[in-house]
Chain A
Amino acid sequence: MLEIKNLKAQIEDKTILNGVNLKVNKGEVHAIMGPNGSGKSTLSSVIAGNEDYEVSSGSITYEGDDLLEMAPEERSHRGLFLSFQYPVEIPGLSVSNFIKTAINEKRKAFGQENINAKELLQLFKEKCELLNIDKEYLSRSLNEGFSGGEKKRNEIFQMAMMEPKLSILDETDSGLDIDALKIVANGVNSLKSSSNSIILITHYQRLLNYIVPDFVHILKDGKIVMSGDKSLAQKLEKEGYSFLN
C-alpha cells in the first residue's frame, strides 16, 4: 500500500528526515515511536503533502503510484488520511459543513454526485454514536474552542466519516482522558479491516494496548533506527530511549 524509500526531507536548509525506509501493507498497523523532535510529524506531513517541506531525495509510492507527484487533496481523494497532532481551528466554518464538503470534494473528483442529505445525516448519526459525540458538536465552528481532547476526537470523527484506506494518527492519544482514549481506540478498531492500514504515531505504550500494532518502529534523528513487534514498545516503556545508544 505504502512504500517509503530512503526519504530525505528538509525545511529551509535544515535536514529533518534523513533516509526513512518504511513499507506498510494492506491491513497492517504500524506504530512509530521516537523522541521529541525526531521527525515523526515531519514524516506524516510529507506523506500528506505539506509543501513547506522539501523532499530532497527518496520516493514514496502509494498503491503503486508516485505519491510525491500528487497534490494533498488528491492524496486525500485516494484514501489517505492524517489525524493532525495540532488540528487547526477554523472559526466560522461548522464541523458539519466542513465534513460534508470534504466528502463532496472527493465525490466530485471521482465524477460522483454530492452525497444526499439523508445519507449524510444517517452517516453523521452513526459515527457520532460510534465516538460518543454529541450531535450539537456538528454545528460548532471547526475546532474553535475545542479542548485538546475534543480536537483529537474530532479528527477521528472525520476519519470515521471519510473511511480512508491509510490513516496516519499523529499523537491522537495525547490529550485524551482515559475514557476518551478507550472510546477513540474502539472507534479506530471498528474502522480497521483487512483492506486498510494504520500508522500510529505515539509516545506511549498505553494506546498500543488498545490498538495492537503489527510492527513498531523507532524514529530517531530522521531515521528509523529499529523495528520490531509490539514487544519493542513495551521495552521502550520500561527503559526509555537510552537503550538505543
Chain B
Amino acid sequence: MLIEEIKKHVVDADLTSTQKKSLDYFLENGFPTTKDEDWKYTSLKKVLKRKYCLKSFDFELNDEIIQQYSLGFKDKIIFKNGKIYSEPKILGVSIKKTRDLIMPKNSALCYLNEAICENSYEIVFDKNLNLDNPIEILHFINNDNDYFLQLRTKITCGSGSNVKLVERFCNIGNNTLINSCMHADVKRNGFFEISKLQSYNDNTHTIDNTLVDQDRDSTANVHTFSFDGSFIRNNLNFYQNNENCTSNMNGITIINKSNFVDHHTFVDHKFQNCLSNESYKGVYFDNTKGVFNGKIMVRPDAQKINAFQSNNNLLFSDSASIKTKPQLEIYADDVKCSHGCTIGQIDKKSLFYMRSRGFSEKTAKGLLTFAFLIEVIEKLNTREIVDYAKTEIAKKLSIEKGLL
C-alpha cells in the first residue's frame, strides 16, 4: 500500500513542524475516495494500486530530449524529477528552493505534497516586470521503478507584472504518479497566464492542483490542454481576494484509448466588480471518460459579478462518457451568471453536407470537430501554443494539420 510506503519514507525524513502537521492531516484523511463528493466519479483505486517508490533519482538529460518537449521558447526553467536543472537568467526573475513552503490546499493530496515534497521552489517575478515571451517550465521525469513524484511550486507575480508561463510534465521513464501543487499569487494589477500542456505518455498519471490568489485589478488566465495520459485530475481554484479581478479558464480536452480526464474548477468571488469566464470543450473517443465539475461561488459582498461558464462535449463513441456538472452558489443579488453544458455528437446533416461537397468522412468530422473547438482556440494569443494545440488536435482527428 502506498500509505505504508509513505509512512516508511517519512521515518528518516527531517520534517518541519508544519510538514508534520500536514502529514498528520493526510494520514488521518488518506487519499480521496469516491465517497468524497469531489471525487465521486474519479477513482484513484487503480492508480494507487501500484507499488510506487518515493525516492528521486538523478538521470542524464540532453538538449535533444529537451527540444523534443519544448515549444521552442527561449527561456526555460527545467526540472529533473522535481529538482531544478537549469534556469534562465532574466532580470527580475528569481527562483529559490525553500524548505518550508506553506501554500493553500484544496484536498488531502495538497497536505501530502506539503508534508513530503523535498523540492519546493518559489519563483518570484518582480513588480512591474514585463516579460515579452512566455517562460517554459519543463519537468522531466525519469525513474527505473514506478514512481510517486511530488512537485511543488509557488509563483509570485509582483504588482503590475506581466507573466506568461507554459508548463509541461515530460515523463521519459516508467509508471509515474505525479502530484503537483502550484500556487500562484498574483499581486495588484498583475497579469498571470499559464498554459498547461497535458500530453503525457500512457505511463503517466497526474493530479494537478493549481490555486490562484488574485489581488485587486489582476487578471489570471489558465489554459489547460488535455490530450494524452492515462489519468488526469485537474483541481483548479481561483480566489478573488479584492475588487476588479478577472479569472479566465479555458480547456480543450481530446482523448482516446481508455484515458481519463477530470476537470474540477472553482472560482471564489469574494469581492465586487469581478469577472470569471470559463470555457471547457471536450472530445471523447474510444473508451474514454471525462468529468467536468465547475463550481462558482459568489459571496454576499460580491456584487456586480459577471460569471460565465460553459462545458461542451462531443462523444465519438458509444463507450465514451462524460459527467458534467455546474455548481453555482450565489449569495449576492446583483450578479450576472450564466452556465451551460452540452453533450452531443457530430451533426449528421452537416456531415452529409460536407461529404456532398467532396469531403472525406474523416476530413469532414475533423473539420467539424475543430470548428467545435475554435471558440476556445481563438482565445489563445500565443502563436506557439495555438500551433501546439493544432498539432495535437490534428493528430487525434487523423487529419493533416494544414487543414486546420
- Give chain A's interface residues, CB within 8 Å of chain B: 48-52, 71-73, 75-77, 82, 84, 87-88, 90-93, 97-98, 101-103, 105-106, 109, 141, 158, 162
Per a CB cutoff under 8 Å, which of B347, B355, B370, B371 touches A73?
B355
Measured in the bound complex, the distance between the Cα atoms of B358 and A158 in whole Å is 12
Query: Are B352 and A72 in touch, CB under 8 angstroms?
Result: yes
In addition to A52-B348, A52-B352, A97-B367, 8 A-B residue pairs with Cβ atoms within 8 Å of each other are: A71-B355, A72-B352, A73-B359, A76-B355, A77-B358, A102-B354, A105-B358, A141-B371
Please report the C-alpha to C-alpha distance between residue A141 and residue B370 in the assembled complex, in whole angstroms.
Answer: 13
Interfacial chain A residues near B349, Cβ < 8 Å: 88
Residues of chain A within 8 A of B372, CB atoms compared: 92
Please indicate the chain B residues that have their CB under 8 angstroms from the CB of A84 in the complex: 353
Chain B interface residue count, Cβ-Cβ cutoff 8 angstroms: 24
A97 to B355, CA, bound (A): 15
Q: Do A105 and B371 touch (CB < 8 A)?
A: no
A92 touches B370 (CB 8 A): yes
Name the contact of A105 in the complex, choosing from B350, B353, B359, B375 (C-beta under 8 A): B359
A186 to B10, CA, bound (A): 84
Contacts known (A101-B363, A101-B403); A92 close to B375, Cβ less than 8 A: yes
CA distance in complex: A143, B189 (Å) = 41
B384 CB–A CB distance under 8 Å = no
> What B residues does A76 contact at CB under 8 A?
355-358
User: Given A88-B347, A93-B367, A93-B371 in contact, is the A102-B358 Cβ separation under 8 Å?
Assistant: yes
Asked whether A73 lies within 8 Å of B358 as measured between CB atoms, the reply is yes
Which residues of the partner chain A approach B353 to less than 8 Å between Cβ atoms? 84, 87-88, 90
Is B382 in contact with chain A by the CB < 8 A criterion?
A: no
Kindly state whether residue B94 has any CB partner on chain A within 8 Å.
no
Tell me which of A71, A73, A90, A141 contacts B368 (CB under 8 A). Answer: A90
* Chain B residue with Cβ nearest A106: B358
- Contact in complex: A73, B352 (CB < 8 Å): no
Is B34 an interface position by the 8 A CB rule?
A: no
Instruction: List residues of chain A with CB within 8 A of the CB of B357.
Output: 76, 98, 102, 158, 162
Binding site of B, secondary structure by majority: helix, strand, loop or mixed?
helix
How many Å from the CB of A37 to the closest CB on chain B? Answer: 19
Q: Is B386 close to A, CB under 8 A? A: no
For residue B390, give the distance in angstroms from its CB to the closest CB of chain A.
13
Chain B's nearest CB lies how many Å from the CB of A41? 13
Query: Is B3 an interface position by the 8 A CB rule?
Result: no
> Can you report 6 residue pairs joining A to B where beta carbons are below 8 Å apart?
A50-B356, A52-B348, A73-B360, A76-B358, A92-B370, A92-B371
The interface centre, meaning the residue of B353, B359, B370 with most chain A CB atoms within 10 A of its CB, is B353
- Indicate if the CB atoms of A49 and B358 lie closer than 8 Å: no
* CB-CB nearest in chain A for B359: A105
Query: Does the CB pair B356–A109 fall under 8 Å?
Result: no
Interface string of B352-393 (1 = CB under 8 A from A): 111111111101000110111111000000000000000000
Q: Which residues in B have their C-beta under 8 angstroms from that of A71?
A: 355, 361
B371 x A91 contact (CB < 8 A)? yes
Enumerate chain B residues within 8 angstroms of A72, measured Cβ to Cβ: 352, 355-356
Q: Say yes or no: A101 contacts B367, CB within 8 Å.
A: yes
- The answer on a CB contact under 8 Å between B358 and A109 is yes
> In the complex the two chains form, what is the Cα distance from A241 to B77 in whole Å?
78
Contacts of A98 in B (CB 8 A): 354, 357, 367
Measured CB to CB, the nearest residue on chain A to B375 is A92
Q: Are A92 and B374 in contact (CB under 8 A)?
A: yes
- Bound-state CA distance A90–B367 (Å) is 10
Interchain CA distance A93-B361 in the complex, whole Å: 16
| B355 contacts across to A, CB distance below 8 A | 49, 71-73, 76
Whether the pair A93, B359 counts as a contact (CB closer than 8 A) is no
Distance of A105 Cα from B400 Cα, bound (Å): 12
- B358: chain A residues at CB < 8 Å are 73, 76-77, 102-103, 105-106, 109, 162
Contact B356 A82 (CB under 8 A): yes
Q: Which residues does chain B contribute within 8 Å of A141, judged by CB atoms?
A: 371
Residue of B nearest to A161 (CB): B357
Encode contact with A along B117-157: 1 for CB under 8 Å, 0 otherwise.
00000000000000000000000000000000000000000
Q: Nearest chain A CB to B20's CB is how many angstroms away? A: 53
What is the CB-to-nearest-CB distance from B282 to chain A, in angstroms, rounded to a whole number? 16
Return B26 CB to nearest CB of chain A, in Å: 45
A105 pairs with B363, CB closer than 8 A: yes
From known contacts A90-B371, A93-B368, A93-B371, infer whether A49 and B350 are also in contact, taking CB-CB under 8 Å: no
Which of B356, B368, B370, B375 lies in contact with A48, CB distance below 8 A? B356
| Given A84-B353, A92-B372, A92-B375, A73 contacting B361 (CB threshold 8 A) | yes
Minimum distance in angstroms from B279 CB to a CB of chain A: 13
Q: Given A77-B358, A101-B359, A105-B360, A50–B352 Cβ distance below 8 Å?
A: yes
